[in-house]
Amino acid sequence: MTTTAAPAGVGFRSERGPVLIAVMLSTALVAIDSTIIATAVPSIVGSIGGFSQFPWLFSIYLLAQAVTVPVYGKLADVFGRKPVMMFGIGLFLLGSVLCGFAWNIGALIAFRALQGIGAGAVQPMSMTIIGDLYSLAERAKVQGYIASVWAVSSVVGPTLGGVFSEYVSWRWIFFVNIPLCLLAAGMVWRRFHETVRRSRPQIDYLGAGVLTVALTLIVLGLLEGGQAWAWTAPQSIAVLGAGVLLLVVFVRVERRAADPVVPLALLRHRLITTTSLVSACVGAVLLGLTTYVPTYVQEALGEGPLVAGFALAALTMGWPLSASQAGRLYLRIGIRATALLGSVVVVAATSGLLLLDTTSSVWQVAVTCFAIGLGMGVTAAPTLIAAQSAVGWQQRGVVTGANMFFRSLGSSVGVAAFGAVVNATLGAASLESGDVSAGPLTQAVHHVFIATLVVSVLLLVAVLLMPRGDRVAMEPAAAEPAGA
């Protein structure tokens, strides 16, 4: 496949400019929705109930996104980026409308899954298109544009979530996606053009199905264990055991698949393996904080949704600010050194989470989250670019999809594990006090913060395992497949 974009210029006025704007609009879909719901959780559960089930609002979205990303990556390498992107935006739009009309927590969870299936196409396609259009050196600048989307969304998302929850209705956090989806779809349709060589796809439906069931069982076991049933109960052992067993089956299926949904052969590439592990840890830390920082600020510190949104915005503002400068840094000192610097900052900042309690100020929470975001931006973006640059055009969609898959997988399983920690802590506290007050909730979130620090250390270890001498070549933009 080739694109019609010219190689000269990286600004909005260049021939590739309209495509870049279309990609930024599409990215905004996922960026805003990843933060807008966090500040609305208390309002949602207050309206339709289901406090113990609210982690599912995050996990099911991320799970659906995770298991579909590799499929979309393969489809993009066969049919092209544009049709996959358009399908994802359309499905995301349908899920958003249905979420806005949800009548109970179960329906909302189901419709969030539909949103996740759509998001599974949007985010990796955005990054793959950027990888197609721009060389490694150019992406150092383009990265700043994409980072600006997350910067704006980090403010707009939590703010809109807080405003709608406090003054209108939480349902509008989903309805607001309607005009954004329509605008993004229109821009992609009109501005992005590509020539695709049609071929007969070999989609690994069996692998995708086994992976979906396996991850669903594991997330179900983590969220319901200690809540719906005891951790040592037969149900818990059966659900988690079946999930792990199906993961083993999944590996066997992928080894025999002609075109596996998760190419195990690629994971033998050390750089791709380590960057995938980095991505998984990044996803777990990010969504763990996105899920529980707003709840902590509102319930433990007694602040409103708008203030909680400010604390969360600090996290998501720090990320794009540092990501926009990461390009300059990795071109000078290399990707591994840049990611190592970022991961050290993440570990140091997450250690600061352990100092938070019921007497902490919102500013202390915000500064800590901002520092974590700074470290994340210098870690996540360069490692994704390293993975993309390790392969040619024909595998770039799959590699990008795999990286996004591991991030979504880390987010989904991480949020489920954090939810299990919270439910276990609050369950014990409820037996003693009869209700969930600020004290037990603060203790529960403190345990989540400890778990977040552990994952941050694993992130640092994954970066240390990256191969040295990672200064990848400055490949030309919009590289064509062999023989094109």
Q: What is the CATH number of the domain that holds 168?
A: 1.20.1250.20
Q: What is the pLDDT of residues 192-221, one digit of tens each?
A: 777 666 666 667 778 878 887 887 788 777
Compute the distance between CA of residue 307 and CA of residue 163 in angstroms, rounded to an integer. Answer: 10
| pLDDT of 10 | 58
Contacts of 216 (CB under 8 A, 6+ apart): 63, 243
Q: Clarify whether residues 159 and 214 are in a common domain.
A: no
Q: Clarify whether residues 230 and 186 are in a common domain.
A: no
Q: Is the pTM of this model over 0.75?
A: no
Q: Clarify whether residues 124 and 178 are in a common domain.
A: yes
State yes or no: pLDDT of 182 exceeds 80.
Answer: yes
Q: Is residue 298 part of a domain?
A: yes
Beta bridge partners, 229, equal: 225
Q: What is the dihedral of CA 23, 25, 27, 33, to 10 degrees?
A: -170
Mean of the per-residue pLDDT values for the chain? 79
Q: Is residue 127 part of a domain?
A: yes
Confirm if 124 and 404 have CB atoms less than 8 A apart.
yes
Q: Clarify whether residues 245 and 292 are in a common domain.
A: no
Q: Is residue 42 part of a domain?
A: yes
Domain count, the chain: 2
Residue 117 domain boundaries:
2-191+261-464
Domain end marker among 214, 235, 260: 260
Best CA proximity match to 144, nearest among 338, 339, 400, 329: 329
Per-residue confidence band for 344, with pLDDT thresholds at 50, 70 and 90: very high
Average pLDDT over residues 117-124: 85
Q: Is residue 483 part of a domain?
A: no
Q: Clarify whether residues 92 and 222 are in a common domain.
A: no
Q: Clarify whether residues 208 and 99 are in a common domain.
A: no
Q: Clarify whether residues 185 and 226 are in a common domain.
A: no
Q: Clarify whether residues 279 and 385 are in a common domain.
A: yes
Q: Clarify whether residues 181 and 222 are in a common domain.
A: no
| pLDDT of 405 | 76
Compute the distance between CA of residue 251 and CA of residue 263 in angstroms, rounded to an integer. Answer: 10
Q: Clarify whether residues 374 and 429 are in a common domain.
A: yes
